[in-house]
Structure 1
Amino acid sequence: MLAKPFPDQPINPFVTLVDPAHRPRAGAIPQDDYDLDTPWHSHDMHQLQYAFDGSIEVEDRQASYLCLRTRAIWIPAGVVHRTSLHRVRSGSVLFSPDMIPEAGDRVRIIQVSPLMREMVVGAMRWPLTQPQDETGQAYFAALANLCSEWIKEEAPLQLPTTREPQLEAAMSYTRAHLKDGDVASACVAAGLSERTLRRRFRSSFGMSWDEYRRRARLIAAAALLSDARTPIGDVAAEVGFESQSAFARAFKDLTGKSPREFRPR
């Protein structure tokens, strides 16, 4: 997951993907060949990005998010974020802010219904860079209305972030050593006593260090599960679970689905 905390320096408020004077109120951008790690930025349009294949990492002021294959990520206009996108087959639909007034103030990973997937695919017919006919205008108006409902179906694939160097050091160590890292080693990485580390995790994130590691393990497992060739038992072992049954219970507690149900078909 993206690791650097939100910067202290000012950020350019908007990145305009297409000149506002020459773009329609909504449109699509295919993103199959993008290979980039963006700086911190924000858009002047709402963005719904669907991952046809691979995974996308996004971070805002509050958390880091993992958008997996067959999921989508919602980025409201004006929300400062950064994105890691490497040879992922994806597509974005952009909306003028007034088309979805209740867009929220943070990034979200959202569940994707068959209808959403087909409508995102269909939206690629109308690129944001080209004028839009009446059919396209009606299409995106309907898609915007549906997005207002879809963005409420959030998937729990996010981890908290911090601007505190010691906690970030502990978190970075934990993410890098999911299989065998322990709290004592995380304390060494952070330069904190175990008591202080546990207290600061609870006060800063509302979760214990153990809960943070568990969630980090499960999010890493979700990414591994996107490859249907990897046995579920191997996924469980790779992220530090001693048994497949314990992994399956924990995974369903977090996502509401068993590892087998979560896998894309």
Structure 2
Amino acid sequence: MPDAPLKTLVDPSRRPAAGAIVQDDYDLDCPWHSHDMHQLQYAFDGAIEVEDAHARYLLPRSLAAWIPAGVAHRTSLHRVRSGSILFGRDTVPPTGDRVRIVEVSPLMREMVQGAMRWPLTAPQDATGRAYFAALVRLCAEWIVEETPLSLPTAREPRLQAAMAYTRAHLRDGDIGAACRAAGLSERTLGRRFRHEIGMSWEEYRRRSRLLAAAALLDAGEASIGEVAAAVGFESQSSFARAFRGLTGKSPREFRRR
């Protein structure tokens, strides 16, 4: 992982204990960095990509990322209606050294939306301080319940190439084409996948398909059968079994939540 410089968004002597950043107009692939505050990253529409040293995460509006202070990460935001809430380092009990992904309840969605009223860069009134005090308590509860919707990452460039090909060709890609993208034999690719990320290429593709399916289910425009076909599953029933096996919910339950 490259160097991850610490970003101080607002002078600590002048900023409130918590505040929001509206990111609707952001169109960027942010390089590796870290913050001196905890961050709750959420997309109200569309999807955001977040990556840390452990995994890659796709965040449709049903998922949010909790990024602890000091954790190196990078984010891709491309003109989706979204926002972040930043919390002082001491406002929330220690939450580890990695990104956590949580399912967004209706209460969380409304609370995050309401928090956009108080920018991190502006003085905060008594109502804002009370609002964020309540939000801090709720976040401490929410981040305990993680969702397994993540993809492992690799440091080796050839594995990165195979992974990038796989994610870009979920419906029609095969291991032979992934090997050609990486410049490796099938045997070597399989061995390196298992050694570096602890799963086979087939399992990585299946997990990639399910993450993409979660984003499509969240968008709510396609039927479950259409979602299954779009990400490469041969049948709706096999997709439903795989999705429940990973998330503990059926596709219909996940969409309804």
Q: Indicate whether the TM-score tops 0.5.
A: yes
Structure 1 residues 140-199: Cα deviation after superposition (integer angstroms, max 9, x where no partner): 222212211211211222111111012112212211221122222222222222222222
Task: Give the corresponding residue for 1:253.
Answer: 245
Displacement after TM superposition at 1:244 (Å): 0.9
Task: Give the corresponding residue for 2:177.
Answer: 185
Task: Give the corresponding residue for 1:160.
Answer: 152
The aligned amino acid for 2:136 is: A
Q: TM-score, normalised by structure 1?
A: 0.91
Task: Give the corresponding residue for 2:4.
Answer: 11
Structure 1 residues 78-109: Cα deviation after superposition (integer angstroms, max 9, x where no partner): 11111111121122211001111322211122
Gaps of 5+ in 1: 1-5
Structure 1 contact 102–148 (Cα < 8 Å) conserved: no
Q: Does 1:91 align with 2:86?
A: no
Q: Distance in 1 between matches of 2:216 and 2:138?
A: 30
Q: Distance in 2 between matches of 1:202 and 1:21?
A: 48
Structure 2 contact 61–104 (Cα < 8 Å) conserved: no
Displacement after TM superposition at 1:264 (Å): 5.4
Task: Give the corresponding residue for 1:202.
Answer: 194
Structure 1 contact 69–264 (Cα < 8 Å) conserved: no
Q: Give the counterpart of 2:230 among 238, 245, 252.
A: 238
Q: How does 1:208-223 map to 2 (within 5 A)?
A: 208-223=200-215
Q: Distance in 2 between matches of 1:154 and 1:229?
A: 26
Task: Give the corresponding residue for 1:171.
Answer: 163
Structure 1 contact 70–264 (Cα < 8 Å) conserved: no
Gaps of 5+ in 2: none
Q: SS of 1:98's equivalent?
A: coil
Q: Give the counterpart of 2:50 among 58, 73, 93.
A: 58
The aligned amino acid for 2:64 is: A
Q: SS of 1:200's equivalent?
A: helix
Structure 1 contact 55–66 (Cα < 8 Å) conserved: yes
Q: SS of 1:226's equivalent?
A: helix
- Structure 1's consecutive aligned runs of 4 or more residues displaced over 6 angstroms after TM superposition are none
Q: Does 1:23 align with 2:6?
A: no
Q: Give the counterpart of 1:141 among 133, 138, 142.
A: 133
Q: Give the counterpart of 2:117 among 118, 125, 128.
A: 125
The aligned amino acid for 1:125 is: R
RMSD: 1.7
Q: Distance in 2 between matches of 1:78 and 1:31?
A: 21
The aligned amino acid for 1:130 is: A
Q: TM-score, normalised by structure 2?
A: 0.93
Total equivalences in the alignment:
257
Q: Distance in 2 between matches of 1:215 and 1:81?
A: 21
